[in-house]
Structure 1
Amino acid sequence: MYTDWNNHLHLLAASGLCIVYVAWRANLLRRLPLPLRHVPGPLIAKLTGNWLLFIELAGKRTTTVHALHGKYGPVVCIAPNELSFNTIDAVETIYASHHSEFRKAPWYANMTRGGVFNMRDPAEHRQRRKLLNHAFSQQSVNEMEPHIHKHVRKLVMAIEKRRKDGPVDARHWFRMFAFDVAGESFLGKPFGGLDCDEAPGYVADLDSAFIVWDLQGRFPILTWLLRQSPSKKLQHFFTADDRIYEYGADAFKDYLQRYGRSPQRKDLLTKLIRKEDGDGGLTDEQISGEISNLTFAATDTAAIALTYMFWELAQHPELQDKLREELRKIPLPPASGIPDHKELVNLPS
């Protein structure tokens, strides 16, 4: 019975595609007000963005969009109001320019609980960035070096310890490294990801939160109904973001208790904290939210970049030799045994 019904579904889907194709060939769909109909891309993308949802649920969005770029070129229509760019020239125009007027997609309004990441209005976003940018100056980042060096040593030890027993999941350890550095930088303490084989519970909450935000944006009523479920597993899943922000708030309070509002400690959070008698800047509540956002924003981006960089190096032994040759010429600080950033920044490679 199930097999017959499954066959019927496939037949209906195929029939629907045929109808769409015939209508397109007959010029019927081309007369519809589809603003991106002239941009290269699959026919279904001109009509609906929901087709990509099923691709995402199957975990194949990245490979699918990559394949579309291989077929259609550097700019591809993937939804009636959405384009995908695969060209370096577009990065500066869309993302890097401080005067960019491109708005973030509506999806971002459902991501996080406020803060710079979900501000879609360019003017509002620029104003919040002004209050955060000084924390990311080159001097501030360089002052974090002693803390980062500590975790670099831990990362090397964790990998060396496990590679004797066979292949190592490099992505996991790069993620734990980025995770602990983010915690050290924004919360004043690491999560302990490099100290054990299992990822901390915060990581599972982080992964769940992104799914919850996506569901909330696409299916708000369904998400609300699921949140009312008496199932403890469902309740735990749908409250993942609660725990993320609770952890950030508790970590911020703990930081203030340990270091005060004028801490001698050098980290990125130091630059954001308002003095007792100061005015302007971010409130404690805003800082707490931003550091929670920054912690998970920094983790996967850095981990993915490190994973693919080392994967690329693994394919090119000649690049490894070149890097080693350059690094051997750099004096190593006796305290850490790790090159300083100022020594690395001007290397040819």
Structure 2
Amino acid sequence: MALLSLLIGAVTLGIIHHYLLQPLYFSPLSRIPGPTIYALTKWRLAWEDWCGRRTRTIHKLHEQYGPVVRIGPNEVHFNSLSALRTIYGPGSGFGRTDFYWMFDVYGKQNLFTFHSSQDHGDRKKLLANAYSKSNVIRGPVAEMVSERIQDYLSLIEDKKGEPDEIFSSLHYYSLDSITNFLYGPSSGGTEAMKGNQTHRALLGDILDPARRRLSWFAVHCPAFTKWLYTRIGLLGRVVAPLLPMRKPATYTGIRAHALKAMQDCKTEAKSGALSGNTIIGRLFKAVSAGMADLNDLEIASEVADHFLAGIDTTSDTLMFLIWALSLPENHHFQHRLIAEAQKIPQSSLDIHGAPTVEAADRLPFLDAVIKETLRLYAPLPASEPRQSSVDTTIDDYEIPAGTVVCMAPYSLHRNAEVFPEPWKFDPDRWLGEPEQVAEMKKWWWAFSSGGRMCIGMHLALAEMTLVPTVYRKYKTRIAPSSSGLATGITSRFEIFADDTYERVEEHTCNIEFVRN
């Protein structure tokens, strides 16, 4: 009996040390400020994830505790330029965590999910030129974007003055743009804007609100989630009610389309008919030339990842931009954008009489509007986790190897000392004093930074040529059915919208287009 009591006592002491004393007193992270409950268990923050409050909760913690906050037993959140340079700057030794594994496609890693900087860099070398600004703003890519813009204008014309639900129509625009860029028109390029219902249906699982629950389970219970979704037969039917999202799970349609597109492109590559201007064409060419050792699934995974990344981000930004300009209090910004777009000289218009991508790239007020939209309504506003394999120091705090460190555009973009009235949509802030603008640009993190900076940035900005093209012809205003509502998007576990509004319409934004 005495031996059993000693054993129970030892186990109890071990539990107390591991779960209470170690995180609160003996861990190097114990010096970092933050709520005690967050330091004791990861499930406190997981609850915020479940409730869709994570990013806003962390922002409030920064306001309370400062630029360094402990948000878990092994997780720290930062909000400073020095941390930004250390964690995400060029040559950083911080790699991506296993959080990104859920973005692997067909069981293969890709540019977005590689932990190793070496693996990421090797893959990026194959594609960087295709995404370069010089390649995107003129030539075949710019011409493709211009054609997609004309398709979007046709959608507006088809409404015959009735309001357009632009969340859907802008998703069709970004879908058609990214697939034609990646695969070309004959082997994977979509025609959602031209009414192809099969292609439009690819967006179905993006709209499913259960996507947020699936993301939560994939992050916090990855092994259990994988087990649930791999059950078949009788057991599969038994566990079906437990699935966070009914089968087929999120992105299934998109990934099936991407896999078939890869197979079609492979056939074209063998016959010599595959265009070298497409992303998949470049990858097949690199393999055949001995420049890369990639199998078919690795090629499919890489391109499918770009496919997924290129849909929501661009369309959500465009939606927020048009919504913000359509608010009555922002009509004066809209009028200035219309005036700027209408002053574009004839020599800078394409064959349709619309601004070229290169001309749009030179518009200063458009640039200010885009920057402000991405500041206030970043399509990926939440934390971007990283880990280092060695001990390091960030903002004077010792960070042991293996600690998860994060920063978020949401908090960086709402620093009131850098962005006065941070909740206000004000493009003019980007046209102010050069010193102030230079400081804001340091904190502006819409496309990440360093070696992991968004490879598709220039393509996304090229697709913004839609904005001056639309406003040369139309004024926009909020349709009565959406009056008083903020438009919202899904990002991971959360709905993001304009936080000054109490009521949010997720995945819906009705806009009236009125001819100038």
Q: Tell me the TM-score range normalised by the shorter chain.
A: 0.7 to 0.9
Q: Report the CA distance shift for 1:195/1:103 in structure 2 as closer, same or farther (over 3 A).
A: same
Unaligned runs of at least 5 residues, structure 1: 1-22
Number of the residue aligned with 2:466: none
Q: Report the CA distance shift for 1:347/1:242 in structure 2 as closer, same or farther (over 3 A).
A: closer
Number of the residue aligned with 2:337: 323
Post-superposition shift, 1:236?
5.7
How many Å separate the matches in 2 of 1:277 and 1:123?
A: 22
How many Å separate the matches in 1 of 2:58 and 2:254?
A: 31
Number of the residue aligned with 1:20: none
Number of the residue aligned with 1:345: 361
Conserved 8 A contact 1:248-1:292: yes
Number of the residue aligned with 2:507: none
How many Å separate the matches in 2 of 1:288 and 1:305?
A: 27
Equivalent of 1:111 in 103, 109, 117:
103
Within the alignment, does 1:158 sit opposite 2:155 as a pair? yes
Post-superposition shift, 1:280?
1.8
| CA offsets 1:177-197 (integer angstroms, 9 cap, x no match) | 222211111132443333449
Number of the residue aligned with 2:257: 247
Alignment of 1:1-349 (within 5 A): 31-86=24-79, 91=84, 93-95=86-88, 97-112=89-104, 113=107, 114-142=109-137, 143-159=140-156, 161-162=158-159, 164-166=161-163, 168-188=164-184, 189-196=188-195, 200-205=200-205, 212=214, 215-227=217-229, 228=231, 229-230=236-237, 237=247, 240=250, 243-258=253-268, 260-261=271-272, 263-264=274-275, 266-274=277-285, 278-281=289-292, 283=294, 284-314=296-326, 315-330=329-344, 331=346, 332-349=348-365
Relative to its length, the structure with more helix (as a share) is: 1
Q: Report the CA distance shift for 1:329/1:164 in structure 2 as closer, same or farther (over 3 A).
A: closer
What secondary structure does 2:364 align onto?
Answer: coil
What secondary structure does 2:289 align onto?
Answer: coil
How many Å separate the matches in 2 of 1:89 and 1:326?
A: 37
Number of the residue aligned with 2:469: none
Relative to its length, the structure with more strand (as a share) is: 2
| CA offsets 1:288-342 (integer angstroms, 9 cap, x no match) | 1100011101222222322333344345333323322222222353523321222
Conserved 8 A contact 1:111-1:210: no
Conserved 8 A contact 2:50-2:216: no
How many Å separate the matches in 1 of 2:52 and 2:256?
A: 29
| CA offsets 1:146-184 (integer angstroms, 9 cap, x no match) | 211122222233345448444x44333333322221111
Conserved 8 A contact 2:40-2:72: yes
Which of 190-199 and 126-135 deviates more? 190-199
* Structure 1 length-normalised TM: 0.76
Q: Report the CA distance shift for 1:152/1:67 in structure 2 as closer, same or farther (over 3 A).
A: farther
Q: Report the CA distance shift for 1:338/1:204 in structure 2 as closer, same or farther (over 3 A).
A: same
How many Å separate the matches in 2 of 1:63 and 1:337?
A: 44
Which of 326-335 and 224-233 deviates more? 224-233
What secondary structure does 2:247 align onto?
Answer: helix
Unaligned runs of at least 5 residues, structure 2: 1-15, 366-516
How many Å separate the matches in 2 of 1:141 and 1:334?
A: 15
Which of 216-225 and 101-110 deviates more? 216-225
How many Å separate the matches in 1 of 2:85 and 2:167?
A: 28
Post-superposition shift, 1:91?
4.7
- Compute the RMSD of aligned alpha carbons: 3.6
Post-superposition shift, 1:144?
0.8
Post-superposition shift, 1:243?
4.8
Conserved 8 A contact 2:324-2:330: yes
Post-superposition shift, 1:69?
3.7
Amino acid at match of 1:222: F
Q: Report the CA distance shift for 1:90/1:191 in structure 2 as closer, same or farther (over 3 A).
A: farther
What secondary structure does 2:112 align onto?
Answer: helix
Q: Report the CA distance shift for 1:78/1:173 in structure 2 as closer, same or farther (over 3 A).
A: farther
